[in-house]
Amino acid sequence: MHRTACEKVPCSIAAVKGPPITVTCDCGVIQRIPYGEACTCPSCGRRWDTAQIPVEEYEGVMRDMRRYRVQAMVLGSSIGLGVVALAVLTDRPLFPLALIAMAGWWLVYMPQWRRKVRARVRNLPTWKLRSR
């Protein structure tokens, strides 16, 4: 596993706040830096600080991504609970209904969800950081 100069080895789940910011140095080196941290380019020595990114903009992006994940989980759980409730309340075999519900989930909803998330990712803001 290749590590950059900025990565810290000891890490806990509590320390993970969100996806790293991709920083492209003027010399062409690409690094992924956690939000709020700074890193020095191993090639030219420039220092990049992701704390220059406005907190409200970064949190807005994180909030949108979290909302998309929660929507998918809630709908999937609702479909699953509906099938289980019908299985408990009726005497009919519901295996075919469960298959239809799962197929609808994967073939109809998830492609739409992926398109929506990808469109949002394509429209993410970009920030011009100043090197120090």
Residue 1 lies in a domain: no
Which pLDDT score is estimated for 130? Answer: 86
| 8 located within any domain | no
* Structural domains of the chain, count: 2
8 Å CB contact between 44 and 28: no
pLDDT at 87: 84
Identify whether residues 64 and 102 lie together within a single domain.
yes
Q: Range of 26's domain?
A: 13-52
Asked whether the whole model's pTM tops 0.75, one would answer no
Instruction: Mark whether 77 and 43 lie in a shared domain.
Output: no
Q: 65 vs 9, 81, 83, 113, CA distance in Å? A: 27, 24, 28, 12
Crossing angle of the two packed helices 55-89 and 110-122, in degrees rounded to 10: 180
Tokens of 62: 């994180």
Residues 25, 82, single domain; the answer is no
Mean pLDDT of the residues in the chain: 85
78-129 pLDDT, tens per residue? 998 988 888 888 878 888 888 898 899 999 999 999 999 999 989 988 888 8
Task: Give pLDDT, residue 2.
Answer: 45
